[in-house]
A and B are shown apart, each in its own frame.
Chain A
Amino acid sequence: MSVVETKALVKRFGDVVAVNSIDLRIEEGEFLVLLGPSGSGKTSLLRMVAGLEKPSDGQILIGGKDVTFMPPRARNLSMVFQSYALYPHMNVFRNISFPLKAEGLPYEERKKKVEWAASIFGIEHLLHRKPRQLSGGQRQRVALARAVVREPGVFLLDEPLSNLDAQLRATARDEIKQFQRRIGTTTIYVTHDQVEAMGMGDRIAVMHLGNMHQLGTPQELYREPADTFVATFLGSPPMNLVKKDSCIIGFHPEHFLPEDVLHPETATFSFAFEVTRVEYLGADRFLYGMVQGAEGPTRIISKVPSLVTLNFEAGRKYTFVVQESDLKYFDHASGKRIPPLPFTTVEPTAQAVVS
């Protein structure tokens, strides 16, 4: 178990800066998620930590030791790949024991460790199968067992769930989180799926175009997004952003509710919301529609819980409100979070209702 640090880590591919000066400290036993869309540099960052990619600049420390120029095998880490990268010609037992062979362990010990790792993931009965005889979920477990068996200092997981179907993904998410808790190994997990990130991460680093936009717990990121990118990347559906004259205001769909059902504790902010489509999802309804922003109509979404039994019809206008305390303010130009602006200057046309 080790602390992983990156110091001003840079990766350039030609003129493209894939990773732009990232400072990160992953604490012992922490589960850190690198979250970002494709091309955000999250995988490059992970591969540099693994030693599979040489940094253009900066430093990587694992357990306090500078490993920047060390090969992967000197870093005492293991990695689970998106494709699982199982060795197709070896059976499951040989796949799992392969990293142990590298350490020169005798067969008896290897066997014991493989059986231990296999038992964690419930794949003892598959040890004699070849990877091609396994389902996607089973392959993923084999890949995890192979990563665990060496009891490494750091786990690196590169989108390990993206090849699974949706149902399996939910259970696998839970399993990975549980086993990580149990063995307490420092883990870096790369994903583009914010649901995975929110559900699994102790902390999440949100990346975009090589830059780290925010680092924090899932709650911090969701409640206090540092900029418009983080705000729109997290949550499903993501935060609504409406341009106003002096700034951008943002609010989560679940905070954007019909006037009649909200019992506000602070001042509220109301919109004329023209519903264009209603999506019924059982526990919630998503209302897609338009409000008037500074630069014309803006598409936004409201998430109405099933407790609200009001009827909504597409094509009609309703008055929807947001509590002032649920509003976030962002700078027009930079998209960065700014302190709340005085109410009236934000929205001269809206009716400010003080309850």
Chain B
Amino acid sequence: MPAVLYIVLLVGVPFALSIAYSFSDVTIGDQSIDFVGLETYERVVDNPVFQTSLVNNFRFTLFSQVLVTTLSIILALALAQDFPGKWFFRFLILLPWVTPIALGTVGWLYMLDTIYSPFDYVLRELGFLANVEGKGGFVRGLTDSLQSLGLVESDTALKLNCQVRGEREVCFFNMQWLGQDQTALGSVIAVHVWRMLPLSTVIVLAGLTSIPKDIRDAVAVDGVGHLRAFFEVTLPLIAPITGIATLFGLIYTFTDVTVIAVLTKGNPANETQVLPYWAYLKGIQGTNLAEGAAIALFMFPFLLVIAVLVLRFISRREVT
């Protein structure tokens, strides 16, 4: 009973309220709920940011979840092996999860800084970034020597930080990870993957260790190679638990704002804008509660589909 009460009060009431808001013209300044039909929805959909956010929301969610699932399986397989110092590595892997995520992300904000980013430093030292003199660095040195041998055309050195703008090629001194269209979403996804990986790895690891020892021995005696053993036995056996972890990850990522709020706030020019953060910007910062509610409700169908999938998954998979 308390659980039902809890869900009704903390989930049901806000949900009903947000539906009511979305059909009205409520703002923080005028909290009377006046019914305006679909007008709020029309306004939201007509906003060009809506489409960007919607697409980004899916890109952000799907790319990071594909990466998280793939990497967590690889990581879990590695951690399931017996090697000295295993507990220490497991501890390291779990660290991002136990770090308060806002703090961890602030750390990344410095790592991806426009001027002092350590990544840029490494890239510059290697010669991947064009610098003022156009000299130095391992890659540049390499292309210089290849050039002197006549093996490559001149000026083929990799310049990650240059873009063609119209007729001109513009080079920044830094990568500006969070400031450029091409790298901003990638950076956000990478940090989100860093953050989600530990939990997923632990879940997959639990799945791996729950495979009976006899089954693993049988695979060894049956004499199949490692790849076949993985794809035909290990993967199918961890599929249910990995599937659940992935579905939960999808729901979590789809509605998550932390990484985006700390790193980019949706910038540059809404290139990393997603629905939940946009809803916050419109509804809370922009005081237009009705639009905020309408935006947030656009996520509902997707979440519903995933939730139904989770429930079906759980009820279908009875243990052998």
**B 207-246 to A, binary, CB cutoff 8 A, 1 in contact else 0:** 0000010110110111111001000110011000000000
**How far is it, in angstroms, between the C-alpha of A103 and the C-alpha of B320 when the chains are bound?**
28
Chain B residues closer than 8 Å to A37, beta-carbon distance:
none
Chain B residues closer than 8 Å to A129, beta-carbon distance:
none
Closest CB in chain B relative to A106 CB, distance in Å: 16
Chain B residues closer than 8 Å to A99, beta-carbon distance:
222-224
Give chain B interface residues in 179-230, CB to chain A under 8 Å. Answer: 212, 214-215, 217-218, 220-225, 228
**How far is it, in angstroms, between the C-alpha of A78 and the C-alpha of B222 when the chains are bound?**
7
Given contacts A88-B237, A88-B320, A132-B320, A82 and B214 within 8 Å (CB-CB): yes
Residue A153, interface by CB 8 Å: no
**B 291-318 to A, binary, CB cutoff 8 A, 1 in contact else 0:** 0000000000000000000000000000
Give chain A interface residues in 120-136, CB to chain B under 8 Å. Answer: 131-132
Given contacts A83-B212, A89-B237, A102-B228, A73 and B220 within 8 Å (CB-CB): yes
**How far is it, in angstroms, between the C-alpha of A47 and the C-alpha of B221 when the chains are bound?**
10
A52 & B320 in contact (Cβ 8 Å cutoff): no
How many residues belonging to B are interface residues under a CB distance threshold of 8 Å? 17
Closest CB in chain A relative to B288 CB, distance in Å: 52
**How far is it, in angstroms, between the C-alpha of A123 and the C-alpha of B228 when the chains are bound?**
26
Residue A50, interface by CB 8 Å: yes
Residue A288, interface by CB 8 Å: no
Residue A98, interface by CB 8 Å: yes
Chain B residues closer than 8 Å to A51, beta-carbon distance:
220-221
**How far is it, in angstroms, between the C-alpha of A47 and the C-alpha of B220 when the chains are bound?**
12
Closest CB in chain A relative to B226 CB, distance in Å: 11
Residue of A nearest to B218 (CB): A85
How many residues belonging to A are interface residues under a CB distance threshold of 8 Å? 27
Closest CB in chain B relative to A270 CB, distance in Å: 53
**How far is it, in angstroms, between the C-alpha of A24 and the C-alpha of B77 when the chains are bound?**
38
Chain A residues closer than 8 Å to B217, beta-carbon distance:
47, 50, 52, 79, 81, 85
Given contacts A52-B217, A79-B218, A132-B320, A85 and B224 within 8 Å (CB-CB): no
A103 & B214 in contact (Cβ 8 Å cutoff): no
Interface centre among B217, B225, B233, B320 (most CB of A within 10 A): B217
Chain B residues closer than 8 Å to A73, beta-carbon distance:
220-224
**How far is it, in angstroms, between the C-alpha of A50 and the C-alpha of B221 when the chains are bound?**
7
B223 & A52 in contact (Cβ 8 Å cutoff): no
Interface of B is mostly: helix
**How far is it, in angstroms, between the C-alpha of A83 and the C-alpha of B211 when the chains are bound?**
13
Chain B residues closer than 8 Å to A84, beta-carbon distance:
214
**How far is it, in angstroms, between the C-alpha of A171 and the C-alpha of B170 when the chains are bound?**
84
Chain B residues closer than 8 Å to A89, beta-carbon distance:
236-237
Interface centre among A73, A84, A131 (most CB of B within 10 A): A73
Q: Which of B215, B221, B225 contacts A72 (CB 8 A)?
A: B221
Residue of A nearest to B216 (CB): A85
**How far is it, in angstroms, between the C-alpha of A217 and the C-alpha of B247 when the chains are bound?**
60
**How far is it, in angstroms, between the C-alpha of A146 and the C-alpha of B225 when the chains are bound?**
17
Residue of B nearest to A76 (CB): B223
A78 & B228 in contact (Cβ 8 Å cutoff): no
Q: Which of B212, B223, B236, B237 contacts A85 (CB 8 A)?
A: B212
**A 78-98 to B, binary, CB cutoff 8 A, 1 in contact else 0:** 110111110111000000001
Closest CB in chain A relative to B81 CB, distance in Å: 15
**How far is it, in angstroms, between the C-alpha of A61 and the C-alpha of B222 when the chains are bound?**
19
Interface centre among B218, B228, B237, B320 (most CB of A within 10 A): B218
A79 & B221 in contact (Cβ 8 Å cutoff): yes
Closest CB in chain B relative to A292 CB, distance in Å: 50
Chain A residues closer than 8 Å to B212, beta-carbon distance:
83, 85
A85 & B214 in contact (Cβ 8 Å cutoff): yes
Residue of B nearest to A83 (CB): B214
Chain B residues closer than 8 Å to A71, beta-carbon distance:
220
Q: Which of B214, B224, B320 contacts A98 (CB 8 A)?
A: B224
Closest CB in chain A relative to B110 CB, distance in Å: 46
**B 143-169 to A, binary, CB cutoff 8 A, 1 in contact else 0:** 000000000000000000000000000
Chain B residues closer than 8 Å to A50, beta-carbon distance:
217, 221
Give chain A interface residues in 6-62, CB to chain B under 8 Å. Answer: 47, 50-52
Chain B residues closer than 8 Å to A79, beta-carbon distance:
217-218, 221
Chain A residues closer than 8 Å to B232, beta-carbon distance:
98, 101
Closest CB in chain A relative to B319 CB, distance in Å: 9
Give chain A interface residues in 160-186, CB to chain B under 8 Å. Answer: none
Closest CB in chain B relative to A146 CB, distance in Å: 8
**How far is it, in angstroms, between the C-alpha of A253 and the C-alpha of B59 when the chains are bound?**
80
Residue A77, interface by CB 8 Å: yes
**A 316-331 to B, binary, CB cutoff 8 A, 1 in contact else 0:** 0000000000000000
B223 & A72 in contact (Cβ 8 Å cutoff): yes
**How far is it, in angstroms, between the C-alpha of A11 and the C-alpha of B15 when the chains are bound?**
64
Closest CB in chain B relative to A172 CB, distance in Å: 18
**How far is it, in angstroms, between the C-alpha of A263 and the C-alpha of B237 when the chains are bound?**
66
**Nearest 8 Cβ contacts at the A-B interface:** A73-B223, A85-B214, A85-B218, A102-B224, A99-B222, A89-B236, A81-B214, A132-B320
**26 CB-based A-B contacts, threshold 8 Å:** A47-B217, A51-B220, A52-B220, A73-B220, A73-B223, A73-B224, A77-B221, A79-B217, A81-B217, A82-B214, A83-B212, A83-B214, A84-B214, A85-B212, A85-B214, A85-B218, A87-B215, A88-B320, A98-B232, A101-B224, A102-B223, A102-B224, A102-B228, A103-B223, A132-B320, A146-B222
Apart from A78-B222, A83-B214, A131-B320, 5 more pairs, CB < 8 Å: A47-B217, A78-B221, A79-B218, A88-B320, A89-B236
Please report A residues at the B interface, Cβ cutoff 8 Å: 47, 50-52, 71-73, 77-79, 81-85, 87-89, 98-99, 101-103, 131-132, 146, 156
